[in-house]
Amino acid sequence: MSKIGEGGSGSVFVVSKISDGAFYALKKIRPKNENEKTLIMNEIALTMLSENKNVLSYYESYDYNGFIFIVVELMKGNLTDLIMDKAGKIPEFLMAYVFREVISGLKYMHDQYRIHRDVKSDNILINLEGEVKLGDFGYAAQLTTDHKKRTTVVGTPSWMAPELVTGSEYDVKVDIWSLGIVGLELAEGEPPYLRENPMKALYLISTGPSPTLKEKEKFSPEFIDFIESCLNKDPRIRPTCEELLGHPFIMTVPTDAEIHFAEYLRDWCNLKP
């Protein structure tokens, strides 16, 4: 129907199903080589395996005429869209709701020994019903109960955990670090080192102190503690998803938060030019 996105891996379109007129998102990707094709097939496999209300739903895929087409659930946009307009102004209970939903999706993955490895606002999808879902599994990795750590360096620099940057063994805790960076995005508009040369960003992440909120006086002690817990440089001390779901900041989420978030998003969309 129309193109709604363009990224490094390909284009995204709104498509409709001929039989019933329902709308979906279609990712159209031309793999550059066999290695990239394997990465895409990995995304498809892990999306298929991750059936959860906080993970983007996968429907089908095709390998045709040099392209791979992936049909997934259509969402209104991603968290980056909201951050660009509303960073630092989103009520904390709504931020807590977004985090709760993302953590719930990550917990589902982590419980099955999967690491997302690219948690960032671009890959957190939202719609006008107030739903929040994890998407884009191009960097996701499958662990096993016997081998619970990996050493491959992948991800987007500003959101990468120190142990990932240095090539050390790492596990699901790298996703927790990335969550903390998303918290800085929500509060300040962008992650640390975004404007630095990528190599310099990686150096600063690995050698510098943990990033922190610049204006702590604007935020509650619970939010500050949540961010700092996620951004502990020692992954052994970093909390698990289960522990984060019991964090005082997440416990502030009211029972009707999804309705409030939907209303907030609709109001925001109505005010946009």
Of the candidates 20, 111, 118, 122, the residue annotated as catalytic is 118
Q: With beta carbons less than 8 A apart as the criterion, state whether 53 and 63 touch.
A: no
Is 48 exposed, middle or buried, given 0-12, 13-18 or 19+ CB atoms closer than 10 A? middle
- Phi then psi for 20, rounded to 5 degrees? -135, 0
Active site residue 118: yes
Tokens of 136: 């884009």
> By C-alpha distance, which of 192, 225, 195, 187 is closest to 206?
192
Q: Could you say which DSSP state residue 122 is in?
A: G
Q: CA torsion sign, 130 to 132 to 156 to 44?
A: negative
Tokens of 150: 């990996």
d(CA 197, CA 210): 19
Q: With beta carbons less than 8 A apart as the criterion, state whether 69 and 28 touch.
A: yes
Distance between alpha carbon 95 and the CA centroid of its chain, in Å? 14
Residues written for the chain? 273
Q: With beta carbons less than 8 A apart as the criterion, state whether 139 and 38 touch.
A: no
Locus of tokens 């999808």: 125
Is 136 exposed, middle or buried, given 0-12, 13-18 or 19+ CB atoms closer than 10 A? buried
d(CA 236, CA 174): 11
Residues taking part in catalysis: 118
